[in-house]
Amino acid sequence: MSRRKQKEFAVPANIKAGLTSIIAGNETIIASMLDVPSESTEDLLNSILSVMQMNSLSAEMLLGSFFQKELLSTYCVTVLNKSGKGGEATLAGRIASCWARPDFKAGISDVVKDVGSEDVPPPPTKKLRLEEENAPPPTLVTFNPAHLAKVASLCTQYASAEPFPHIVLHDVLENSDHPKHVLSEVVGNLKVEFKEVSVYLLSSYFAIKVGIS
């Protein structure tokens, strides 16, 4: 029996040109994203094509799934002269439609010049943003060991409860004040513009008041 030939993964020249143009000026970011040591445009392009082949991704799916919104927005504005508004999916579709033109040939020099300008700083990745934040380490939250020691009896209590299976646990966490601190921080950082509707204001106030207490 003859073995069926594996379908060759072919990427049109215009899509390769588009990928090359978005790599240019963003080599470090994309290398970090792909977790590859080389920042060579050719190596990065080959790595991206491998990802597309292994996951059967179109250019639009690749951009929307793996590229940051800031990078896509900057590319749209500085390279394609298109709007930079929208989320990852919208921006990816906008870019992919430009790349789909058979005559697409973005100049690499233009990309480097625009992305490197002071007006348009290179967009950071999620990894870089996390490293730059000087946030304190997260507090370790542990369950109350008293509850953990009687899991079997709690399961029985839950299953036999009436009128439906349920259970009420007090002091679930070892540090009972931690949830209050979290809620207080969240509420304190909320930026809400209340609507002038009595029912809305009343329900919002009641929900927050009950949550804190």
pLDDT tens-digit series, residues 138-152: 666 677 788 778 888
Q: Which two tokens stand for residue 28?
A: 């470090």
Identify residue 23 by its one-letter amino acid code. I
**Range in 45-49, 81-85, 180-184 the model is least confident about:** 180-184
Examine the pLDDT at 200 and tell me if it is beyond 70: no
Compare 109 and 177 and report the one with higher pLDDT. 177
Across 167-176, average pLDDT: 77
130 burial type by CB count under 10 A (0-12 exposed, 13-18 middle, 19+ buried)? exposed
What is the rounded CA–CA span in Å between residue 199 and residue 35?
51
The tens digit of pLDDT for each residue in 36-71 reads: 888 899 999 999 999 898 888 899 999 998 898 999
Smallest CA-to-CA distance from 18 within 43, 39, 40, 49 is with: 49
In this structure, what are the phi and psi dihedrals at residue 143, rounded to the nearest 5 degrees? -75, 155
Closest CA to 46 of 28, 75, 19, 6: 19
Q: What residue segments make up the domains of the chain, in order of their start?
A: 13-132, 145-212
CB 76 within 8 A of CB 83: yes
The answer, yes or no, to whether residue 95 has pLDDT greater than 50, is yes
Q: Is the pLDDT of residue 191 over 80?
A: no
Contact 36, 129 (CB under 8 A): no
Where do the H-state alpha helices sit in the chain? 13-23, 27-34, 41-55, 59-66, 69-78, 88-99, 108-115, 126-132, 145-148, 151-160, 178-188, 198-212
Write down the pTM of the prediction.
0.49
Sorting pLDDT into bands at 50, 70 and 90, what band is 9?
A: low
Q: What's the chain's average pLDDT?
A: 74
